[in-house]
Amino acid sequence: MRPIPFSGFKDVAHRLFDGYAELLRMPHTARFAVGSVIACMPFPMVGMTITISVQHYYGNYTLAGALSAVQAIALAIMSPVLGKLVDKFGQRQVSIPTIIVWIVAATALVSCIAARVPAWILFVIVPFMAAIPPWGAMSRSRWTNLLRGDPVRTDRALSLSGVFDEAMWVIGNPLASTLAVISGVLAFSVTGMCVIVGALMFLTELSTEPPSQTELARKAGISRKEYRQREALKAARLRGKEEAAEEKAGLFKSGQSIWGPGLIAMCVTWFGLGAFQSAASISIISFATEQNMKQYTGFVFACFSFSSMVGAIFYGAKNWTIPLWKRFYFCLLVVNLGIGSFMFAHNIWTIMVIYLIIGVCQAPTWINGNQLMLHLVPPTRFTEGMAWTSAMNSIGGSAGSAIAGLFIDQMGSHGGFLVVTILALTSLALSFTGFKQIKQSTETPMLTAVEI
């Protein structure tokens, strides 16, 4: 008898993974894709380590939330700056000095927390923890450069990046919570080693690095400012709107801006997403502490990331015919309402189950957002555009964690979850204020079609 179930499973696996395997079989792609994920370990581990370590040594969630907020605000300020510098001067030229600053700051911060120094010293050091190269944006920039003119494989590559990102969170969250409970020094040491190893893998892969604006302008025999003006004009003409082309060209001449209604709408949406998800994280840690289950918080977050990773795998394997804006808002709706329901949970396992259910829409939400960015900014400014959305997400996260920390200290974890619900509903409402712009942006060609 023919083994139908097994052959059916092989067929499903073939359709799911062959597209991803094809991308990773391209010369040198696996090295930078995996390296960027390893180097990104500060994102899942630093926030968790600061929260657990500060609460352990200082016994204060408000301080932990405030430090996380300061780090997030600094990250929000630095991300667009670093993204812009990367696009201008190149990935290696900007990343290497940035990494050195981060390692020095991490060493100083963990030493001061363990020594219980006055809180103001921590606030001085924490902003330097924002010296993190935009690894995710740089990796996606390499993919979009390699796959220029191939929208199907570009979408799949962005989904693959989402899969790798979620794998990082699956590993990073439980690892951080476990190591931080043992020793903050150990947690930061592991993070630092990941940064060094990942950076070496990524930055020593030279053949896939996209050319910087400086290189492209030099090759064209014009200044960087003139090159950016010319690129803006091409992008506007691609949309088939001559008036927009003239307006865009004038805009770039005066301020070299990439801002438009679509990018503003995306930044507002990402601000709200960061606010309620950050508030949820610190509230879950408080909730688990009240139940004497703090050591399991990382695994709860890992469930969300694991579910999100599964969602990214399936999402990227399918060639979607549903309009991008519909997919974006559906996934956003599921995530916001799901996390907003945490206040009704009676134990940490209920939260884990909710995370497993709604997590399948988390990565697709980010993937859709990345795909929207391809419609909104020229390709040689993609890193900068991605950095702005990440910055707004960090600002939202800082606001969410700070507000939740205050309510937790006054009302316990229930107060934190109340903040989460309010922020999730408000975030959803804010996202629809940009509905028109987001919908219209998907009706224009991807700007990766602009020749450079």
pLDDT, mean of each 10-residue run, the chain (452 residues) = 49 63 83 86 72 76 77 79 83 89 88 86 89 84 81 77 73 67 70 86 86 77 71 60 43 51 79 83 82 74 80 75 85 88 83 87 82 74 75 77 80 83 85 78 59 42
Contacts with 35 (C-beta within 8 Å, 6 or more apart), sequence order: 197, 198, 199, 200, 201, 202, 203, 205
Residue 322: predicted pLDDT: 82
Per-domain residue ranges for the chain? 19-210+258-449
118, 278 Cβ separation under 8 angstroms: no
Range list of H helices, 183-323: 184-203, 213-220, 224-238, 242-255, 261-290, 297-317
Residue 11: predicted pLDDT: 53
Residue 97: predicted pLDDT: 92
Q: For the stretch 418-444, what's the b/e string if a residue is b when 16 or more beta carbons lie within 10 angstroms of its beta carbon?
A: bbbbbbbeebbebbeebeebbbebbeb
* CATH, range 19-210+258-449: 1.20.1250.20
Residue 251: predicted pLDDT: 40
Contacts with 288 (C-beta within 8 Å, 6 or more apart), sequence order: 294, 296, 297, 300, 348
CA-derived radius of gyration, the chain: 22
343, 417 Cβ separation under 8 angstroms: yes
Interatomic CA distance for residues 87 and 334, integer angstroms = 34
Q: How many CB atoms lie within 10 A of CB 410?
A: 10
Interatomic CA distance for residues 228 and 222, integer angstroms = 10
- Which has the closest alpha carbon to 220: 234, 207, 236, 209? 234
One-letter amino acid for residue 22 of the chain: E
Interatomic CA distance for residues 202 and 208, integer angstroms = 10
| CA dihedral of 446, 448, 450, 452, whole degrees rounded to 10 | 170
Residue 393 main-chain phi, psi, to 5 deg: -65, -40
Residue 367: predicted pLDDT: 80
Interatomic CA distance for residues 156 and 419, integer angstroms = 36
Residue 123: predicted pLDDT: 92
The model carries a pTM of 0.67
